[in-house]
Structure 1
Amino acid sequence: MVPVDSFRPRSLMHRRLVCFAVACLILGNAWIPLANAATGRQSEGSDASPVGEQVPTFTLPNAYGKPVSLTDFEGKECAAIVFLGTECPLAKLYGPRLNDLQEEFGDRGLQVIGINSNKQDSLTELAAYVHRHEIAFPMLKDKGNVVADAMKAERTPEVFLIDANRVVRYHGRIDDQYGVGYARDKKTRSDLAIAVEELLAGKPISQPKTEAVGCHIGRTKQVAEQGEITYTKHIAPIFNSRCVTCHREGEIAPFTLTSYDDTQGWEDTILEVIGNNRMPPWSANPAHGEFANDARLSEQEKKSIEQWVDGGMPEGDPSDLPEPPVFTSGWQIDEPDQIIQMRDKPFDVPAEGVVDYQRFVIDPGWDEDKYVVACEARPQNRAVVHHILVYVIPPGGRDIDLRKVLVGYAPGSTPVDLDDGVAIHAEAGSKLLFEMHYTPNGTAQSDLSYIGVKFTDKANVKKELEGAIAVETKFRIPPGKSDHVVTAKHTVRRDVELLGMTPHMHLRGKAFRYTAHFPDGKEEILLDVPAYDFNWQMKYILKEPRKLPRGTVVHCRAVFDNSEYNLSNPDPSKTVGWGDQSWNEMMIGFMDVVKAD
């Protein structure tokens, strides 16, 4: 379902530190330039293709410092030279897949060769990557990105398939399952495997070039000693407030940004994701509503980062460095009255693929009505837990009440911590449903997440925190339809204060809008999300509560893209209806309200 952030009904000015997480990749080391090709970087968007060019021999150290030459593989029918990295998600996912390719075609004459050209990846880190992912092919270090420059490699993973004469016959991606911002349930085209099969069979390559997607290779650049914009004085405060909640050790983000050294090699990727507004993740149209947890970088912050990179990324005076943010290692709420695990044993998360929502029903043993004033969801394994959502199942009920969300977790979120006599009411005999969303990171993992709950007496409760929804379950999205509209509405039965909204769709979700139609005939767009992203399902917390008088009708309008142009679409040939898993769809406009004073 949806990751839910917490709030204080009368203290909405808390700020949610938001992940700067990027679904991207990295690799590289040094050699002799391509024959018949100019050395240096290939400009973005260039039509120049290396297909048909010859790769001369080169010698690079492997992960353990031993020199390995391209001539060592003479006699092989072909070689797949793949630029990889140690920290980015796609490189972690595709490393084991390249093992499979080597095993499948090795006896027929293929040799996979990995190259890491990232200046931020040391030999020690490269060796750890090889060990962790059980890489069975040579992994070489391209110090100074000489080989990457000569081959005009830009991203990781990026493939150059060469024949026995070292001529590039295929260039691009490995397959189409994973990309930046999407992950299909399964690949629909194994581009590299098809090219290898055709090459070994003596056939022309049917599709010799595809687009390689991922992070920029972290190239070695001249760093300025001084500059008007420095890391210590200008950039560290931005990263501390916007990024390091997720980009720190042990969190779900693919690399850390807690020090100056951490930033080196990631500058091109950072500029790209802030330039196209992928990071920090925030999808609300700024023309409608003001939100307490608005994660957007200001134009000045963007400009400062751009100027810093363009100015050579000077470190600056160490005395200007701000105090690093302090993150709670224990409970963020007061010591809980009860700790509840999601199940009695850990759940195994595979190394790769798509793990759909896992649901576990737990009996918390509540034999009397409970009034919850604080609740915190804690992932046991933050590296793979994308989000947690915990619902209350009413006594005797078999289904969840979509309006009764107890707590949620997503990277950067804060716990539920209510004040001013507000509480969440759970009836005696209620059960809890843990809904878990996992993101494989290239290594098999396990997780046993849990929540902590604090209660109060009924006598202390002045208001109950309530959920409201606009929901439509009886819809059918036609195959191939790129802009199918589904609407729903919620009628306000008594005066309430609206605190936040969470639009929810699955992989075909495209856009979502909340519009209030007031009893006096006026209309107001409460929230507009023109580019909905399943990977970042956010709660939008209003900067100030919005009073909705009795008789107000909140209309929700969702747009779905079931076409082939939606890269996250599991199957554009199918008609899609309501369902729990992400290959089905949902249309829900969640709202958090309390009774108006």
Structure 2
Amino acid sequence: MRGLYYCFLVGMLCLDAVHLSRCDSAQPTAPVSQEDMSQQNSPLGQTVTDFTLTNAYGKSVSLSDFENHAMVAVVFLGTECPLAKLYGPRLNELQATFAGQGLMILGINSNKQDSLTELAAYGHRHQISFPLLKDKGNRIADVMKAERTPEVFLLDRNRVVRYHGRIDDQYGVGYSRDKKINSDLEIAIEELASGKPISNPSTEAVGCHIGRVKQVETTGQVTFNKDIAPIFNARCVTCHREGEIAPFTLTCYDDVLGWEDTILEVIDNNRMPPWSADPAHGEFANDARLGETEKQQIADWVDGGMPEGEPGDLPDPPVFTAGWRITPPDQVIAMREMPFEVPAEGIVDYQRFVVDPQWDEDKYIVAAEARPENRSVVHHILVYVIPPGGRRPDLRQVLVGYAPGSLPVELHDGVAIHVQAGSKLLFEMHYTPNGTAQSDLSYAGFCFTEKGNVRKHLQGRIAINPKFEIPAGASNHEVFAHYRAKQDELLISMTPHMHLRGKAFQYEARFPSGATEVLLNVPAYDFNWQLKYILREPRKLPRGTLIECRAIFDNSKYNLHNPDPTRSVRWGDQSWDEMMIGFMDTIPTE
């Protein structure tokens, strides 16, 4: 069946995780008065004394080298952290804008998993114009009490911390705005340069945990090779491997070290693996959740010092198909003639490209696969059918989709998707900038069969309501839509679809017998992870069954995804508008 998932991973193609060029020269010296900072929860008002670190090319760089600069912004960065990638260009802009007022930005990398080679590559890829320094053993991070990447400490002429926190609020964990609302660091620099008190000196730094070297005795019985690698292989490495969109790899022991705090955090708050269905309703073939035993094993492994284990216990890595996962297609169709240029940062809203496949006869599709050319920036692909003579896509006919971890369309037992002659295709592309300019020319492949081989058609069904208005500031606005089965059919899957104000979504069946059943409940909808929920066993919908979809929208200022809580919102194609669609796949029972 159609294996369509969506995902939001502001990551990029990871560098080779082999740790090279680990130079031991220029050991860091203590940068801060220990008695000042170690006893305080906030670094504000504390003095940072001189320190020396090595840059990516082996040169020693000291804080005192910049004594003629009126301000120094110490920013902790990581080479693979998605937010650190996105904010690299922003920091360059700030350095260029305020250099004349005496600003110097110093980027410090304290991650044990990031080598000097990788730090140099980060600087080259993002064209970093300020020094990038390696904090071996995370000594500087420990004394300054830095926890995240990126995290900023803005120092005045006397090297007293005057601002601490984030760069701005455009990007965060799980959300990305089309523009920043609060330019926290920029405002702090302007106020400090003009001699004014900083109006908002402390904000929350969000991002990846710094991958610290920890003095933990390896005593645990849970090992990576025997216990943890099988979990990661089954649950994670589909996306967290080289060449995929996830921001770091989990394919071997050395790759994992340094990411343990981030892994525990995303598991604890249920961000990873992505799965939003309420377990009280329905059983799903593609349920991605970690079991409680698996969660506990990962926690025990970290608490036990993360032992690697015996080499013989390491399972064979999963095998991923490099080429087509379907039978070699009968036809391959590109989304357009020329690649689309993806900018380094910001929001790239949906791009739509109409293609004429030259189908002069009806087509019966038994397999389809959408493939991104550049997996590092493709958030998702949807390929819709535009009926003959039409100008807009038929939302009921999504031929195929792509997102990391999604499955191609493969239909059997005489089931096929019927597309009328003269139809065109609409490629809907959603891109995620990753800090460097990219290009993409995605495509899709299709396998056909003869009409005589087809017994049943896979049907796309929708419960849709385009006539709504979400008031400005409303935090729990309900919208309903319905679908009624006109024949006996089997429900195969459900895909709730909303945009950035989506908060919750539920499918409820009302059967002709009078019985009701919640088929799917998504209490915490996430635009970044819009999943297709494939039923473990198809659910029979007798003729006359009513499917009611109930969506809840949050248009308030407390929704961090919300681009503008001051305006009311109606139906629209782009993510700053809204949609309310309950997608379903069905096949007739006879």
The equivalent of 1:11 in structure 2 is: none
Change (3 A) 1:20 1:318: farther
**Which aligned pairs between 1:225-240 and structure 2 lie closer than 5 A?**
225=218, 227-240=220-233
**Which aligned pairs between 1:10-29 and structure 2 lie closer than 5 A?**
none
The equivalent of 1:473 in structure 2 is: 466
1: CA distance, partners of 2:544 / 2:362: 31
1:571 and 2:573 aligned: no
The equivalent of 2:554 in structure 1 is: 561
Cα-to-partner distance string for 1:523-544 (whole Å, 9 max, x where unaligned): 0000000000000011000000
1: CA distance, partners of 2:260 / 2:36: 25
2: CA distance, partners of 1:345 / 1:418: 31
2: CA distance, partners of 1:276 / 1:468: 33
The equivalent of 1:194 in structure 2 is: 187
1: CA distance, partners of 2:86 / 2:212: 22
- In the TM superposition, residue 227 of structure 1 has moved relative to its aligned partner by 2.9
1: CA distance, partners of 2:264 / 2:453: 50
The equivalent of 2:24 in structure 1 is: none
1:335 and 2:333 aligned: no
Cα-to-partner distance string for 1:15-47 (whole Å, 9 max, x where unaligned): x9x98968799xxx943142264677x9xxxx9
Aligned partner of 2:30 among 29, 32, 44 = 32
The equivalent of 2:110 in structure 1 is: 117
Asked if 2 retains the 8 angstrom alpha-carbon contact of 1:19 and 1:244, the reply is: no
- Runs of 5+ in structure 2 lacking a partner? 15-26
2: CA distance, partners of 1:306 / 1:329: 33
The one-letter amino acid paired with 1:34 is V
Asked if 2 retains the 8 angstrom alpha-carbon contact of 1:512 and 1:529, the reply is: yes
1:68 and 2:61 aligned: yes
Asked if 1 retains the 8 angstrom alpha-carbon contact of 2:8 and 2:529, the reply is: no
The equivalent of 1:157 in structure 2 is: 150
Aligned partner of 2:316 among 310, 323, 330 = 323
- In the TM superposition, residue 226 of structure 1 has moved relative to its aligned partner by 5.4
TM-score, length-normalised on structure 1? 0.95
Cα-to-partner distance string for 1:308-347 (whole Å, 9 max, x where unaligned): 0000000000000000000000000011000000000100
Q: Secondary structure at the match of 2:186?
A: helix
Percentage identity across aligned positions?
A: 71
Asked if 2 retains the 8 angstrom alpha-carbon contact of 1:38 and 1:150, the reply is: no
Aligned partner of 2:275 among 282, 292, 299 = 282
The one-letter amino acid paired with 2:407 is T
Q: Secondary structure at the match of 1:402?
A: strand
Asked if 1 retains the 8 angstrom alpha-carbon contact of 2:8 and 2:379, the reply is: no
Asked if 1 retains the 8 angstrom alpha-carbon contact of 2:569 and 2:577, the reply is: yes
1: CA distance, partners of 2:218 / 2:190: 51
TM-score, length-normalised on structure 2? 0.96
Cα-to-partner distance string for 1:39-75 (whole Å, 9 max, x where unaligned): 77x9xxxx92100000011000011110000000002
1: CA distance, partners of 2:487 / 2:80: 51
1:213 and 2:206 aligned: yes
- In the TM superposition, residue 224 of structure 1 has moved relative to its aligned partner by 4.7
2: CA distance, partners of 1:272 / 1:232: 22
Aligned partner of 1:301 among 278, 283, 294 = 294
The equivalent of 2:3 in structure 1 is: 6
The equivalent of 1:524 in structure 2 is: 517
The equivalent of 2:20 in structure 1 is: none
**Which aligned pairs between 1:119-138 and structure 2 lie closer than 5 A?**
119-138=112-131
1:353 and 2:351 aligned: no
- Runs of 5+ in structure 1 lacking a partner? 8-15
2: CA distance, partners of 1:412 / 1:223: 35
Q: Which has the higher mean CA deviation after the structures are superposed, 381-390 or 215-224?
A: 215-224
**Which aligned pairs between 1:74-153 and structure 2 lie closer than 5 A?**
74-153=67-146
Q: Secondary structure at the match of 2:263?
A: helix
The equivalent of 2:426 in structure 1 is: 433
1: CA distance, partners of 2:338 / 2:257: 40
- In the TM superposition, residue 258 of structure 1 has moved relative to its aligned partner by 0.3
Cα-to-partner distance string for 1:88-116 (whole Å, 9 max, x where unaligned): 11101101110100000001111111000
Q: Which has the higher mean CA deviation after the structures are superposed, 226-235 or 444-453?
A: 226-235
Q: What is the total number of aligned residue pairs between the two structures?
A: 577
Asked if 2 retains the 8 angstrom alpha-carbon contact of 1:471 and 1:587, the reply is: yes
Root-mean-square deviation (CA, aligned residues, Å) is 1.7
The equivalent of 1:271 in structure 2 is: 264
1: CA distance, partners of 2:154 / 2:29: 17
2: CA distance, partners of 1:36 / 1:239: 40
1: CA distance, partners of 2:345 / 2:450: 46
Cα-to-partner distance string for 1:118-174 (whole Å, 9 max, x where unaligned): 000000100000111100000000000000000000000000000010100000000
Change (3 A) 1:475 1:200: same
Q: Secondary structure at the match of 1:344?
A: coil
Q: Secondary structure at the match of 1:373?
A: strand
2: CA distance, partners of 1:300 / 1:20: 27
2: CA distance, partners of 1:492 / 1:5: 20
2: CA distance, partners of 1:157 / 1:543: 41
- In the TM superposition, residue 221 of structure 1 has moved relative to its aligned partner by 1.6
1: CA distance, partners of 2:35 / 2:421: 74
Cα-to-partner distance string for 1:178-222 (whole Å, 9 max, x where unaligned): 000000010011100000000010000000000000010000023
Asked if 2 retains the 8 angstrom alpha-carbon contact of 1:225 and 1:316, the reply is: no
The equivalent of 1:13 in structure 2 is: none
The equivalent of 1:409 in structure 2 is: 402
1:489 and 2:489 aligned: no
The one-letter amino acid paired with 2:93 is D
The one-letter amino acid paired with 2:135 is D
Aligned partner of 1:464 among 453, 457, 460 = 457
Asked if 2 retains the 8 angstrom alpha-carbon contact of 1:479 and 1:563, the reply is: yes
Change (3 A) 1:576 1:37: farther
2: CA distance, partners of 1:236 / 1:495: 45
2: CA distance, partners of 1:584 / 1:257: 36
1: CA distance, partners of 2:349 / 2:309: 46
Q: Secondary structure at the match of 1:71?
A: helix
Asked if 2 retains the 8 angstrom alpha-carbon contact of 1:223 and 1:314, the reply is: no
